[in-house]
Structure 1
Amino acid sequence: MKMHHYLMTWGINVAKNTKLLRDAIGHTARCAYSTICRQSSSKTSDLHGGTCDVQKSSVIWLGMHAFYTVLSKKPEIYGTSTLLKYLRFEVSLSRNKRLRRRLGNVVKDGLSGVAALNF
């Protein structure tokens, strides 16, 4: 939602800047993974015995799915570009079949909160 707000505020043409947006979404997902790893190995985490064992592919897939879910709520803006098609394709790749099965409940829980969003 924040990305959508930024794009609309800046007046970026989504259809003409699909590659930029795809790269930004991928970078955001990779940064999320890096942040999780960094936070899980902080002094505070070590002091309290915290650990985090999450796979990079899981975080990236969840990020792509989240962006697809939120941006697909605005088909009048994102439906004319190839961005939604790209995100749908990335989420549904056969190499991600295991992730879809394993993270299905996480996605289902998250979608229950997204349904109430109106932006």
Structure 2
Amino acid sequence: MKMHHYIRSSALDVHRKSKSLHNTIKQMLQFTHAAICNRASNKMARSQGASCRVDKKVVLFFGAHAFHLVLSCKPEAYQTLLKPLAFQLSLPGNKILRSRYRSILTEGASTLTLLSF
């Protein structure tokens, strides 16, 4: 939702900047994975004996799915950005993750209907 607000407030031409925006989304998702791993392995977590293993593929899948879900609410505005996200989600590895986490994805989609933007 923040990305939608950022694009609209800066009046970016989504059709011309779709590749750049898609690269930005990928970088954001990779940064999110790195931040989760850093938080799980910081000094406080180690002193408490916490352990957390986060699969990068799962983080990238959930992030891509979330971006696709939110941006698909305005398909006419984000058509060129939705195509690469849809392709990424259609890859065989992501189809397996989709079936494994179907209930979480359904729950996330149902909460999106409560939000209006």
- Residue 101 of structure 1 aligns with which residue? 99
Cα drift, residue 97 of structure 1: 2.1
- The ranges of structure 1 where at least 4 consecutive aligned residues each deviate by more than 6 angstroms after the TM superposition are none
The TM-score normalised by the length of structure 1 is 0.92
Work out the CA distance in 2 between the residues paired with 1:108 and 1:12: 31
Cα drift, residue 47 of structure 1: 2.1
The answer as to 2:80 corresponding to 1:117 is no
Alignment RMSD (CA, Å): 1.1
Aligned positions, number: 117
The answer as to 2:77 corresponding to 1:77 is yes
Cα drift, residue 52 of structure 1: 1.1
The answer as to 2:31 corresponding to 1:11 is no
Unaligned runs of 5+ residues in structure 1 are none
Cα drift, residue 48 of structure 1: 2.1
Work out the CA distance in 1 between the residues paired with 2:100 and 2:51: 20
AA of the residue aligned to 2:107: D
Work out the CA distance in 2 between the residues paired with 1:6 and 1:96: 27
The TM-score normalised by the length of structure 2 is 0.93
Give CA-to-partner distance per residue, 1:33-65, whole Å, 9 cap, x none. 000100000112112222111110110011100
Work out the CA distance in 2 between the residues paired with 1:97 and 1:74: 24
Unaligned runs of 5+ residues in structure 2 are none
